[in-house]
Amino acid sequence: MTISRLPTAALSLKQFLQRQRILGIYRNMLRTIRQVPSEGDRKYLRDWARDEFKRNKSATNPDAIRMMVSQANNHLEELQKSLALARS
């Protein structure tokens, strides 16, 4: 009898890759937020991003997750565009 070394809650490869992608979006969002000039706006955006990612942490529906990833990418792109316009 072979004993598996994987925990019972181990992620599949697809889930692992998706998790890495989502964490990358989160990190990019926090890095982008650091470029916001106003301290108050930075705090608001940082709290908003943390709350959104924490609130959706337990989502399991693949369609819902794809939609949330798409929305997060859109928010990130909008923030980056806004910061680029503000610098111009």
Whole-model pTM? Answer: 0.83
Mean pLDDT, rounded, of the chain: 91
* Ramachandran angles phi, psi of 11, nearest 5°: -80, 145
Establish if 3 belongs to a structural domain: no
Establish if 24 belongs to a structural domain: yes
Establish if 2 belongs to a structural domain: no
- What residue has token string 């969002």? 29
SS3 62: helix
Q: Is the pLDDT of residue 5 over 90?
A: no
pLDDT at residue 75 in the model = 95
User: How many structural domains does the chain have?
Assistant: 1
Q: Are 49 and 26 in contact (CB under 8 A)?
A: yes
Range of the domain at 25: 15-87
